[in-house]
Structure formats: C-alpha cells, structure tokens
Amino acid sequence: MAGDGASYNAGDITVLEGLEPVRKRPGMYIGSTGPTGLHHLITEVVDNAVDEAMAGRASRIDVTLLADGGCRVQDDGAGIPVEPHPQYPDRSAAEIVLTTLHAGAKFGGEGYKVSGGLHGVGVSVVNALSTRLVLEIDRGGNHHVLEFINGGERKGPLEVTGPAPRGRTGTTVSFWPDPAIFEETEFRAQTVTERLQVMAFLNRGLDIRFTDERPGQQKRENFRYNGGIVDYVRHLNASKESLFRKVASYNQSEDNQEVDVALQWNTGFHEGIFSFANGISTIEGGMHEEGFKKALTNVVNRYARSRNLLKEKDENLDGKDIREGITAIVSVRLKEPQFEGQTKAKLGNVSVRSLVERATNEKLTEWFEENPTEANQVVKKALVAQRARLAAQHARDLTRRKSGLDGAGLPGKLIDCSSRDRRECELFIVEGNSAGSSAKDARDPRTQAILPIRGKILNVERARVDKMLKNAEIQALIAAIGAGLAEDFDVAKIRYHKVIVLADADVDGSHIRTLLLTFFFRQMKALVEGGFVYVAQPPLYSTLVGKEKVYLKDDTAKDAFLAEHPEHRHDFQRLKGLGEMDFHELRETTIDPTKRSLLQISVEQAALADDVCSVLMGDDVELRRHFIQTNAKDVRFLDI
C-alpha cells in the first residue's frame, strides 16, 4: 500500500509499558532462546525497515552479518524521530522506542497506515537481549548516535556526531546478541536470506541487500522483485511442472485495507496456499485465506457450468479438488490486524474475508474469461482430482471395513511391542528381511516394535492417494501407526511416540529414507510437526582393537580414530548393510536407547519443505543434482 507521506514526528510515538520483563522471560517475547529466537531479533529490526517501505518512505534495506558476530540493519526511510518525547521531555523519542515495550508510531495510527511490526514487541526487545546496540539516525541533515550496553543500559544521551552523509535519511541498527541469553549466538546465513527473500517478494520493487562479512563465510545476495508475488509463485513452482505458463494475479483495496493475490497450478497433487498479513506469515491461515478458498471454489464451479464442463446432474467440484496442485500467495495489508493466539499465526479480521472474497469472485472470473485455455485446464485437472478423491474414499472405506473384521487391523508383518503406553513405545521401520530379523532379536520387546518393509516404497510425490492406498508397504505403514492418512490423520491416535526410519548407510538406504520422509511429510504431516519422526544413524565403519569391535559413526569419527590409532589404517570395514550386523551389533550401535544416535526430523517452513520434497522427488534431474551439491554439507545432527 503506497504511503501518503503522513507525518512521522515525536508525538506519533505511543508508550504502552516498560522493558523490565524481557530478560527474565525472553521466550515470552521471541518464542525461544534457541536458533529461532535468535533469528527473530533480525526479523524484528527488518520488519521496522519494511514498515518504512510500506509507508512509502524507504526503497532499500541493507542487512549485514558483521565479522565480529553482530548484525546491522540499515534503511533509507525517514529515520526514527529524535526530538524529546511529549510524555517524557527529558528523553528523545528514539530512546523511548529502544527502551520501552510496545512503543512506536504503529499504535497511534498516524505514523504508519499499515505495519508488520505490530505482531512483535518491537526493537526494544532486541536491545534488551543484546550485549550492545548502536542506533544511528540520519534525519534533519544530522547524523545522530545512541548506544546501549548490557541489555538496554544507556551509555549516554542521543548525540549529533556530524552532518548526515550526502543528505541521507534513514535508520541503522547494529546489535550483538547476548550469549548469556541465547543457546548460541551464531547467525545462519540461509535462515536470514530465506526471510529476506520472502520480504522482497511481498514488497514489489523493494531492494533488499544481504552481506555476510564473517571470516570464511563472505557472500552477497540481492533481492528485488519487480513482479512481486507473481515472481514468488514462479519461484515456488520452479521445481514443479506448471500446468500452464501464465500466473493469474489481481489486487483490490478499500477502507484502509488491500489484498494482493497471485496463483498458478502445477501438475502435482499438493495444495500450496501461503498467506501473509502486513508481511507476516500467517501459517495457520485466517479470514483472508478462508475468503480466497470460498471464492475460488465458486469461481471455478461457475465457470465449469457456464462452459458445460460440469453437466446439470453432476456434483459441484469440491474445494480440495480445485486446489489440487495450486500454488497461491494471498497477501493482505490492513491498518489494524487482529492476530489470534500467542503465535500470531492466524488473522481474525472479518472485513478482510469479505474483501478477498469480493476481489476473487470479480477479478478471477475476469481472468478465466480472458484465458479460456488455462481455465479449461484447471477445470479438467479438478475433475480428474474429483474422480481420484472418490476412488480413494472408496479404498479407505474398504480398508476400514477390513480392519473392523480382522480384529486390531494391524499388518501381519508388524512385530509389535507389549507396552500400551504410547509415550514409551517406538516403531522401527526397517528395510530388508535380513535386517528385520536382526532388529527383531535386537529390540526390547516391551517398548520397541519392528515393521519390515521390502524394497523402495511408492514415490508419493508422483502418486495419487487412490494408487498409494493400493500399495502393500504403504498400507502396512498406515495400519501400524494407526492414526489414519492425509486429512483423516489424527496425531492423538498414533500408537508410537517415536517412529524411527532404519535404513542402510548407502545410496539405496538414503533413497529409502527420502521416500519415507516424503510420505510422512505429505500424508502424516502432524507426525513430523510433532517431532515424532526420527532417522536412526547406524555406524559407517567397524574395526577391531584387540578382541573388541569398535564402531565409528562417520568419516569424521574414523579420521579422529585413525589420528589416535594409525596402525589400524588397513583392517577397517565399511558397513554397507544392516543385514551384515548380527543382533548384538545392531542393538549396541543402533537400537539401544542408551547408546544409539538419532536424528530428529522437523518441518520449520512448509513452503521450504514443500520445495525440497519437490526437488528431491520430482522429475527435474538437473535441479535435484544442483540442490544436493549445494546442500550436502549443510546438515545438522541432533544426538539423543
């Protein structure tokens, strides 16, 4: 929403409460003291700079990871007001912003028409959780500096240190996170650039520049998208096969709120709708997403009937049929967003639902009329999806009936555990019969269950649900976990609180792991989100020291061992298959909870994970090779 150059002075800064609680309970303000909370500090400062851009006062943002571990965010906006604050005449407005929670121009209504900063608690929290923060303001022809240390303690008053360079205006915030607060204080460049790229997509034409000055990690990346969210849709669909080349887009504004939508279908089966409010990712959806989905269903059904693609006796297409393979961005901006819940992940403004619905009904109908070839492809794809959905429902009904007849409905190949306390129960999904036999003998029969699967399971990235449900290995997985599938999946019904993928440490094993993780991500997403999915890490090597067998997890462990025992360089054995281990070895290295090493699988960003699955499991070999080469070394292991 273009700004109208509204006034932005000291009187626009509204004060709500003090800063004291932040250092005592940082998790309440930034979510956690782990990597997510650490990176949220950058998000808070960048959001302020983006707000200046949304107000029409800034066109460029520079984010720099400094060589000494700090971060600097600079914008070319108006600069935070430096005059004394009306309520606190002895303190500048800039100092109030940096030392008081919920202080800023976003609460009074004049400084910003819309802003993203409302979802957090402002740059004051960044100050509270940093060992040092330096604020530089170019405003009124002068360069002002204000410095804080020890989590918000003012080092001195706001000072003019000279003229602003070349008539520049804007704000620069440099900060160094406090290691006494955070579990780690090293920023991850990829996490930062992913967020910056999204902000650039959502703010058409905004120039965001990233620089990493840290030793050994130097890099520069620029993000600017003159196509805005149309470019975002193309980016998300780059790893997929688009149904057609065009991207539909439209926008509409009224009464201090506006909506911007872009959408395109791909030939896949998965729905990807990503919604934002004032630049904030509303991962739980809300009124804007509801309005879009309802109107999309109406528009497609109306078009299908007007072109006789749906006959009079035919049922309407279901929303899920229509949204199969869609990639859509729904971005709204409004003056006073109402976010639901502590995480602020769901938008509650009813007026936005009406706006998005009206815009979609009107503008998307026009687009369909003007692009009949593409519109027909959308309807035909939805009709195929409808047939598949009805077939899948029939298959599910058969599966449920069969389960009801044969008792517990558990697969015959499952070697179950005796405990019925799901919190302590573990399911090992083991590839190969020989490994399954060893695992059966190696397990603790009270708490550990074994499900052997044969060969490579169906690639669920390329298969519809009805075909998937006919696959014997998939059926066994669904029945063993016991919580259903896809939209029917109920995480409260899972029979095991650890589902552990146990596959060989070779290329085939990696492929099987990827297929299983893709299946869980696509069809049992709540299992992954809840942290119930793990990958076992069997050792890569074994060697004899005297009469004792020593196992080494990976090449790093092998190198460390050889540094101490160079004489063992030649009796080394590479363990290619789990079947090579007897049950004693398998228990010692991989199954015993006191000795094993597990990698916990998590899904941090649905859009990113969707992209990864599509690249790894899709048809584009070149894109997959590039992804693997780029990311092979960027893996973090969690030992449990």
- The Cα–Cα gap between 508 and 489 comes to 29
Query: Which residues are registered as beta bridge partners of 333?
Result: 258
Rounded (10°) CA dihedral 164, 166, 167, 173? -50
Residue in this structure with the two tokens 């269950």, named with its chain if needed: 449
Q: Which residues contact residue 572 at a Cβ distance below 8 angstroms, ignoring those fewer than 6 apart? A: 541, 542, 543, 558
Contact predicate 242/272, CB 8 Å: no
Packing angle, helices 350-359 and 287-306, rounded to 10: 30
3-state secondary structure of 268: coil
Q: Which residue in this structure is represented by tokens 């929670």?
A: 101
Residue 312: what residue type? E
Q: Name, in order, each residue with C-beta under 8 angstroms of 420's C-beta and a sequence gap of 6 or more.
A: none
The CA dihedral of 43, 47, 49, 55, to the nearest 10 degrees, is: 170
H/E/C letters for each residue in 551-572?
EECCHHHHHHHHHHCHHHCCCC
Q: Which residues contact 39 (CB under 8 A, 6 or more apart)?
A: 187, 188, 191, 192, 195
φ and ψ at residue 444, rounded to 5 degrees:
-90, 110
DSSP helix/strand/coil, 637: coil
The pair of three-digit structure tokens given for residue 212, joined into one six-digit string: 């990493």
Query: What's the chain's length in residues?
Result: 640
Please report, as a single letter, which amino acid is at residue 45.
Answer: V
Kindly tell me the burial class for residue 482, based on how many C-beta atoms sit within 10 Å of its own C-beta (0-12, 13-18, 19 or more).
middle
Listed residue (176, 160, 175, 192) closest to 79, CA to CA: 160
User: Burial level of 209, CB count in 10 A (0-12/13-18/19+)?
Assistant: middle
Residues contacting 585, CB < 8 A, separation 6+? 542, 549, 551
Residue 617: CB partners within 8 Å, gap ≥ 6?
459, 460, 461, 462, 514, 515, 518
User: Residue 426 burial (CB < 10 Å; 0-12/13-18/19+)?
Assistant: buried
**β-strand pairing of 598-600 with 533-536:** antiparallel
Residues 132 and 74: beta-carbon distance below 8 Å:
no
SS3 121: coil
- Please, are residues 84 and 90 in contact by the beta-carbon 8 Å criterion? yes
Q: How far apart are the first and last CA of the chain?
A: 48
Report, as residue numbers or ranges, the catalytic residues: 431, 504, 506, 508
